[in-house]
Amino acid sequence: MFWRKVAAPVKTGATPGQMQKSSVTSVHSAPMGRSDHALVNTRRNQLLRDYELNTKAGFDDLEGILKRVASWQNEEDFVVKAQALVQSEFGWQWPESLLTDAWKTGLNVKALYAYGIFKQFERLSQDFYQLNPLQDEQEAVAKQAFMAAGFHAVGVAPCADGRLAHTVSYVLRLPHNMVRRKAHAGVMFDVSESVRHWVFVEHDRFREGIPNPATESTRYLKIAVYHYSDKDPNHQGCAAHGSDEKKAAAAALQRLEDFQQAIENRFGCGSRVEPMLLGLNTDNDSLKVHLPNQEGQLCLARYIKTETLFDQTAGWPADQARAYLKEAMQQLAEQAGSSAPNDSMQDLLAWLIEQNFSQIAYVRQYEKGLYADIGHAERFIGLGNGFEEVQLRNLSYYGFLDTLEEGAPDVDVGIKIFKGLNVHRGLPAPVIIRCDYDGRVPGSRTRALEKARRIEQALHQRYSELSEKGELTSLCTLRDHQRAVPCEMVSMRLSPTWAEQYEV
């Protein structure tokens, strides 16, 4: 691998954090950049890699197991062999009724596959909450970074696309339990729902001083994350915006401004929320960081690229690299004829860029600088709320919703994706419905259960053609979000004639 240290733009005249025009056309044919950097957390990268490989293998190995099982279906000891194999590989068994009649009616591969996906998700949830595999020793550092910048709470709104499901724990390297993540197709998050959540956050500050007293002049930070592809911009961008990066960015910015305006209109100018806009290159997890001016106003044309900053500072001592990140922001603002972000925002953005450096190195080291699956490769669809345990890229397409009617655009996109991923190969679209509840509130679990069942019923009605063919399967789950406990499986629908209710 060949590389050369890129001189600081202050000496060369290049735009900091942005690639010179002469190099744009050759970016994909250029050698992969170096993955070592003084600001990269290599130990954390190895931990995250092990977790990703082990978790995804549990889903991906299912097809191979099913192929072996299908070859045995006419043997006398078929059921015993099939159950022994899946028990040894995954630690669970299929429902006996799905196997016993295989010699007469043929093996119901769709139902067996969906059941396996659902059981693997159950295992994922159990491991996540009981073993805490993503425990971050830098959690206190992260909280201090936001508080020092004047933010008492953080909300992250990525696109529902599965290629952004790892935005929190991998791309930004934030502790998952310190931010609120709600995904919507095209980053078209519900402004009214965001306002309601903001009210809850501020109420806790007024009544309990959590996370800090309301007398302190801190703000709520809302981060919107749109996405694009440099490798295939016309096909692998955001489906909700026709793979048009400019439309995706503009829509995300408009939502941020609407949320900001809604808070000011309802609660006064003293109740400001701060917007942050990030663009994620799903080819390699690098970011476009849109720089606010001194007053906090964002501009779509004013951004800095973390990948370029990584290469510009590779080989530098850590302190020098950190100092240059803020210097680059100031230079870019000056060249754009704008004021630079205020000092506290510069500190926070520089810290977030440093966090992303580790992910850039991650992709370069383990994926040769470019994901093999630059398109969709999700394993299931997640609908409802929660899903904090899903922190991996392309594991799940996720749509936050309270009712299927309200979330129909998100669900339609997800179903379209899985028609291409699964249905055309003879496999179903597995949908996991999650409704979280507050165990401290009487009747909360019952209402969550009713809500999950309403969503499931509406789902199968809306896509009845798929459902009747066994090409749409569903699992209803609940979770008490006030405790660090895994989800509980409530009911499962694997075919028009096979459904199972669990103890509720």
Per-residue model confidence as pLDDT tens digits over 9-33: 344 344 566 544 323 323 333 347 8
Q: How much is the pLDDT for 29?
A: 36
Residue 223 to residue 342: CA distance in whole angstroms: 17
pTM over 0.85: yes
- Confirm if 431 and 474 have CB atoms less than 8 A apart: yes
Report the pLDDT value the prediction gives residue 9, as an integer from 0 to 100: 38
Task: For residue 171, give the amino acid letter.
Answer: V
Domain 138-367: CATH class, spelled out: alpha beta
Is the model's pLDDT at 240 over the cut of 80?
Answer: yes
Q: Which residues are catalytic?
A: 161
Residue-level pLDDT at 502: 67
φ/ψ of 2, rounded to 5, equals -105, 145
Spatial CB neighbours of 320, under 8 Å, sequence gap ≥ 6: 313
Give the per-residue pLDDT at 65. 98
> For residue 6, what pLDDT band results from cuts at 50, 70 and 90?
very low
What pLDDT, on the 0 to 100 scale, is given for residue 13? 46
pLDDT at 37: 97
22 exposure class (CB count in 10 Å sphere: 0-12, 13-18, 19+): exposed
Give the separation between CA 103 and CA 192, rounded to whole angstroms: 54
Residues in the chain: 504
Q: What is the pLDDT of residue 1?
A: 28
- 109-129 pLDDT per residue, tens: 999 999 999 999 999 999 999
> Is the distance from CB of 183 to CB of 159 less than 8 angstroms?
yes
Instruction: Check whether 4 has a pLDDT greater than 80.
Output: no
Condensed to tens digits (0 to 9), the pLDDT of residues 55-68 reads: 999 999 999 999 99
**Packing angle between helix 343-367 and helix 139-148, nearest 10 degrees?**
150
* pLDDT digit string, tens, across residues 244-297: 999 999 999 999 999 999 999 999 877 789 999 999 999 999 999 999 999 999
CA distance 352 to 187: 20
**What is the pLDDT at residue 102?**
82
Its CATH architecture, for the domain 120-133+379-503, is 2-Layer Sandwich (3.30)
Location of each CATH 3.40.1050 domain in the chain: 138-367
Q: pLDDT tens for residues 349-392?
A: 999 999 999 999 999 999 999 999 999 999 999 999 989 999 99
Per-residue confidence (pLDDT) for residue 59, from 0 to 100: 98
pLDDT, tens digit, 9 for 90 and up, residues 284-336: 999 999 999 999 999 999 999 999 999 999 999 999 999 999 999 999 999 99
Whole-Å CA distances, 442 to 33, 446, 447, 487: 56, 9, 10, 19
What are the CA-CA distances from residue 40 to residues 4, 181, 214 (Å)? 18, 25, 36
CATH 3.30.1330.140 in the chain, residues? 120-133+379-503
DSSP class of residue 103 equals H
Q: Which amino acid is at 281?
A: N
